[in-house]
Structure 1
Amino acid sequence: MDMENERVLKLIFPNGIPENLRGNPELDNYLAKLGTCKVDQLKKEQTRLADETKRILEQTQELAISNYKTFITTAENSRSIFNEFQKAEEQVDTLIGKLPAFSGKCEQFLEHSAELNEQRRLNSTTLHKNAQLLEILELPQLMERCIREARYEEALELASYVQRLGQHQGHLIPVVNSIVRSVEALWHTMLVQLVAQLRMDLQLPKCLQIVGYLRRMQAFGDNELKLKFLQARDAWLTSCLEGIPTVDAQQHLTKTIEVTRINLFNIITQYRAIFPDGEQAVGKSSNLKSLQGVSCNGDRLFQAWLHNKINAFLLTLEADLQRGVSSIETVLGQCMYFGLSFSRVGADFRALIAPIFVRVVSQKFETSISHVNQNFGQELDKFTLINKVSLHTRKHLDAAAMSTDPDSESYAPPETLLDFYPLAVLCNGYLNALNELRLCAPFAVATDVTGCLQKSLQLVAQRVLAFYRQEQQAFTGNERETFVKLCSCLAYDLVPYVQRCIHGIFPPQLITVHLGISLLQLEQQQLTFLQQTQILEPLKHLLPTKVLIHTTMPAVSTTDPTNAPITAEG
């Protein structure tokens, strides 16, 4: 709008342009038209406008009258439309109020549907991978079955696979973690089962196989594995030994020697095959005394175990020998073979066996002589010198004593002992003890045997002297003469005969060779020689004048003395 039009509008509307005319495009056209009018036309313009307004009003009234129905309908429609718009506006307001909650529900639905979709995808993947998943889920059951059926190779492979699976997926997948824990529990079960199998009777290939499995399991270090192996095999060996009946000492000892020799040798062979690094150490342990006090680690572990097993056997040997066995020489032969066989593995323990037999043989002989001494004392207490003069009967001699064999005759007991029953009983007791000793007579007991007989004969002489002192006042001439003959029989018959029997069991020639000394030195050292002077010292004033037989005995045959006993009656 230009400046002229604005000036015209101010003139027309001094109070301002009405609101309904502002922005009306017709206003500018009308002002342009007014600018073209002349003054007369401008004067008439107001009248024309009033007339035209009147005419438009009249036309409008006529239109309203003629079309009132239309106007009524239009008004009603307008009112209806207005009401509908109000309702629509209210519903739109309600919809706008509910849209945030609906939007939230939609978002929740989208999230839930996404989860459902992911679960459906996982289910589909699971269904597609069903076979592979079943293989993984059944790993514990499969491993349990392998262990139950002793298929340890497959069980170890499964355990290794599950261990790798757990390292890669265990921290992400809980079910894999659960499988790993189950397999680890079964792994420990297999470990216990393998160690338990070592407590059974196994051959070398099976032992190698089981220890190979234990090594692959890496459950024990090298020294721990050696210790477990020895403990398990020791338990099996102990169970075998405990199963031997202990009623009969001979059978128990014989069976113990056999079981210990066979099974202990098998264990040593198995150990050396499984742990070859310890072979050198075992080879150096030939002297078992050097094994005492070793520490239980490394290569010395096996040496200490073997030393303990041999010590246990030696204790059993000594205990059974003390109980009494019927054939010591048989047991000795078996023990020596046992010790000799172990020399192949550097564990020859025969030097430890010999002292036990020497001690047992010596104790057994001493016990027998002690009983002989008791029996002699009892018989001497019952002995009487009445009607005991020069009987010299032979009817009670044993047939073996009557043998014409020179070797047997040289050891036949003196016939004069038959005149004196206590001396005959004493001689029989000595012969029984010596015959029992003869079956197993080690040279190491020669001095003990001689000393035991020396003490026994001294005790006999003292008891004879006590008998004389007790009865001498009542002696008659014949009884005194008989008593002197009893003393002479003891001194000049029994004592030399006992000496001859000792040398029959322990020939001086063999002892001199064994000791590397001469026969004279042997006599000077009083080895296997009775000291007759000391024995007869209590009775020397009762003996008739006679030169005592020298203690040096002539060379005798090495044939063992006859085991024929002397029997005599008073």
Structure 2
Amino acid sequence: MEFAENMDLENDRVLKLIFPNGVPENLRGNPELDNYLVKLGTCKVEQLKKEQTRLADETKRILEQTQELAITNYKTFITTAENSRSIFHEFQKAEEQVDTLKDKLPTFSAKCHEFLKKSAELTEQRRLNSTTLHKNAQLLEILELPQLMERCIREGRYEEALELASYVQRLGQHQGQTIPVVNGIVRSVEALWHTMLVQLVAQMRMDLQLPKCLQIVGYLRRMQAFGDNELKLKFLQARDAWLTSCLDAIPKTDAQQHLTKTIEITRINLFNIITQYRAIFPEGEQASKSAGLKQLSGVSCNGLRLFEAWLHNKIDAFLLTLEEDLQRGINSIETVLGQCMYFGLSFSRIGADFRALIAPIFVRVVRNKFESSIIKVNENFDRELEKFTLINKVSLHTRKQLDTAALSGSEPDMESYAPPETLLDFYPLAVLCNGYLNALNELRLCAPFAVATDVTSCLQRSLELVAKQVLAFYRQEQQAFTRNERETFVKLCSCFAYDLVPYVQRCIHGVFPPQSISVHLGISLLQLEQHQLTYLMQAQILEPLKHLLPTKVLIHSSPQSTAELSSVSIATEG
């Protein structure tokens, strides 16, 4: 190793001596140079002195040989030169083409990779197509699932539709994330699922029997679209819409027919809905029985008060319709009252007896109707009194029979309730009595004890008004009275005071027997009379006319006559 390094150093020194300006480029790296330097190292001094001359001679000799060779073989040299030039140009073209190829090789490589990728995709697609063709029947069954479910919904086969929806749901959970077609099928089935939900809810708005209701609610429960309370609410809303549509279809032209039909439809259908609800949601039955029908306000949809609130609203709606139709006017209140009471009694089986809510409505309507009739009677009496004249009036009837009955101690005919014949002599009083009788006869068909005091007060006010109208008639016409007209007017006042007023009192007790009222209130007849219940205050009625009435002394010989005539004697004494 050290010898080789020493040789290299020696060679470098020799080269610096030979080539002070540096080794020419054409000699660098030439192995012959190293061999020549080794050879020089073996030469002696004399040989080194002669080496330059030898080299010059050898160079000259080689040059001569080269010239001789060129002259001898000039054709070969020319051909070689031409071939070399041609080869050089070909190499240049080849180099240019190689450069172009090198530039295009990346694009070609990318195209090759792309081709390989597409080829792989085509191969995969071909494989998938082959698999698809092989599994064609099974794929068609899956692809036709939305159409099959739509057909099941359209034909009402909800059981099969639910099974299909459940199958598609499981399929979507396993394959929906990776297979777009399956995901599309899942979305289509979900849309049809919502359609089926709407259709099932819509079917509950139709006339359904209990088995069908149970089936529909069973489907809704399996769909799990609503919670328990929401399902109850949806059921009540749907059945309420159906009941409302049935009630809205009733013609409203005739109040009697409308109310009768409303009672029938509400009673039957509402009871059916309650039966269906309790059969479908049995857990709410115990709460309904314990709670009954209560006045509810601010009810939250917690499932416990929902049914009671809905039932309360439906009964309120029925009572509102009842009051509206009664106010419109019906022919037979007693018939409607019987139907309503039967309606309320039938609902006592479900803890919703609402007869106590019906009674005030009928009482109010009966009272208003009677008061309206009495107002018309007073208006009619006023018109007849304006047309009445005392000229040439001859009394054809006397009060002899009534006075004789009072004096002999026998009672008048209390069963016939025939009006006094003396009223025929005075047409306005006869018209007034007929008006009272018509109103009382209409009231008698449906006369609740609750209106007894109101009826008595209404007749009290009416008779007081009549007395004032008679007094006004007297003040207007008294200056022109003849002796006969004055006597006739006194008889008119006597007929009003001693015949009409007691007769009206008797008619009131005919409609509201004191014995029945005393039993109903739990008081005696004496207490009933002391409190002026169903008794007219005849002294107050006759107060305006007391100075025009003749003095009359009556003998009280019977309890009934005493009750009727004592007030008259008070009026005369006053």
Aligned 8 A contact 2:293 2:308 in 1: no
For the 8 Å contact 1:332–1:357, the answer to whether it is kept is: yes
Judging changes above 3 Å, is the alpha-carbon distance between structure 1 residues 502 and 104 closer, same or farther for their aligned structure 2 residues?
closer
Residue aligned with 2:225, SS: coil
Distance 1:128 1:470, change over 3 A: same
Counterparts in 2 of 1:506 and 1:247: CA distance versus 1, 3 Å: same
Cα–Cα, structure 1 residues 496 and 124, in superposed 2: closer, same or farther, change >3 Å?
same
Match of 1:496? 502
Match of residue 166, structure 1, among 161, 168, 172: 172
Task: Indicate how the Cα distance of structure 1 residues 542 and 407 shifts in structure 2: closer, same or farther if over 3 A, else same.
Answer: closer
The counterpart of 2:351, out of the listed 346, 352, 373, is 346
Q: Deviations over 1:348-402 (max 9, x none)?
A: 1000000000000000000000000011111111111112121239xxxxxxxxx
Distance 1:552 1:214, change over 3 A: farther
8 Å Cα contact 1:376/1:425 also seen in 2 = yes
Deviations 1:28-81 (A, max 9, x none): xxxxxxxxxxxxxxxxxxxxxxxxxxxxxxxxxxxxxxxxxxxxxxxx9xx99x
Task: Provide the rounded CA distance (Å) in 1 between the counterparts of 2:415 and 2:139.
Answer: 98
Q: Secondary structure at the match of 1:233?
A: helix
In structure 1, the partner of 2:434 is 428
What is the aligned length? 469
Match for 2:133 among 124, 127, 136? Answer: 127
Structure 2 SS opposite 1:543: coil
Match of 1:138 among 140, 144, 148: 144
Deviation at 1:546, TM superposition (A): 1.2
Of the candidates 501, 510, 527, which is equivalent to residue 533 of structure 2? 527
Equivalences for 1:395-414 in 2 at 5 Å? 410-414=416-420
Structure 2 residue 257 is matched with structure 1 residue 245: no
User: Corresponding residue for 2:391?
Assistant: 386
Larger CA deviation: 278-287 vs 362-371:
278-287
Q: Which residue of 2 aligns with 1:295?
A: 300
| Alignment partner, residue 13 of structure 2 | none
Q: Distance in 1 between the 2:242 and 2:182 partners?
A: 40
Q: Cα deviation per residue 1:535-566 (whole Å; 9 max; x = unaligned)? A: 1111111111114698996299xxxxxxxxxx
Q: Distance in 2 between matches of 1:146 and 1:97?
A: 69
Match of 1:277 in 2: 283
Q: Which residue of 2 aligns with 1:6?
A: none
Residue 212 to residue 549, structure 1, CA distance change in 2 (3 Å): farther
- Tell me, yes or no, if the aligned pair for 1:285 and 1:347 is still in contact at 8 Å: no
Residue identity opposite 1:355 in structure 2: P
Residues 548 and 433 from structure 1, CA distance in 2 versus in 1: closer, same or farther, beyond 3 angstroms? farther
Question: What is the aligned counterpart of 1:448 among 442, 454, 457?
Answer: 454
- 1:500–1:553 Cα change, 3 Å: farther
Q: Residue 475 of structure 1: CA displacement?
A: 1.3
| Structure 1 gap segments, 5+ residues each | 1-17, 23-75, 394-405, 557-570
> For the residues of structure 2 that align with 1:547 and 1:472, how far apart are their CA atoms?
27
- Contact 1:162–1:180 (Cα < 8 Å) also in 2: yes
Deviations 1:488-538 (A, max 9, x none): 111111111111111111111111111111100111111111111111111
Aligned match of 1:516: 522
Aligned to 1:311: 316
Report the secondary structure of 2:549's partner residue. Answer: coil
Query: SS at the partner of 1:284?
Result: helix
Partner of 1:219: 225
Aligned partners of 1:356, 1:103: CA distance in 2, in Å? Answer: 99
Partner Cα distance (1:495, 1:161) in 2: 88
Match of 2:123 in 1: 117
Report the Cα distance in structure 2 between the residues aligned to 1:144 and 1:488, rounded to whole angstroms. 90
Q: Contact conserved, 2:176 with 2:183, CA < 8 A, in 1?
A: yes
| Aligned residue type for 1:324 | G
Report the Cα offset of residue 287 of structure 1. Answer: 4.3
Per the normalisation by structure 2, the TM-score is 0.76
Calculate the aligned-residue CA RMSD, in Å. 3.0
Normalising by structure 1, we get a TM-score of 0.77
Moved more, 118-127 or 86-95: 86-95
- For the pair 1:191 / 2:219, whether they are aligned, the reply is no
User: CA–CA distance in 1 between the matches of 2:287 and 2:429?
Assistant: 60
Taking the TM superposition and a 5 Å limit, the aligned residue runs for 1:6-17 are none
Q: Match of 1:364? A: 369
State the AA in 1 paired with 2:137: A
SS in 2 for 1:437: helix
Counterpart in 2 of 1:45? Answer: none
1:256 has 2:238 as partner: no
Letter of the aligned partner of 1:190 in structure 2? M
Task: Tell which deviates more after alignment, 546-555 or 254-263.
Answer: 546-555
Q: Could you list the per-position Cα deviations for residues 468-488 of structure 1 after superposition, in whole angstroms to 9, with x for gaps in the alignment?
A: 111111111111111111111
1:327 aligns with 2:336: no
Report if the CA contact (8 A) 2:381-2:432 is conserved. yes
1-structure distance, mates of 2:218, 2:485: 89
Distance verdict in 2 for CA 1:241–1:523, change over 3 Å: same
CA distance in 2, matches of 1:509, 1:124: 104
Q: Is the 8 A contact 2:346 2:353 kept in 1?
A: yes
**Which amino acid counterpart does residue 333 of structure 1 have in structure 2?**
G
CA contact (8 A) 1:329 1:439 kept: yes
Indicate the larger mover: 350-359 or 483-492: 483-492
CA apart distance, 1:191: 0.9
User: Equivalents in 2 of 1:468, 1:108: separation in Å?
Assistant: 127
Q: Relative contact order: is structure 1 or structure 2 higher (C-alpha 8 Å, sep ≥ 6)? A: 1
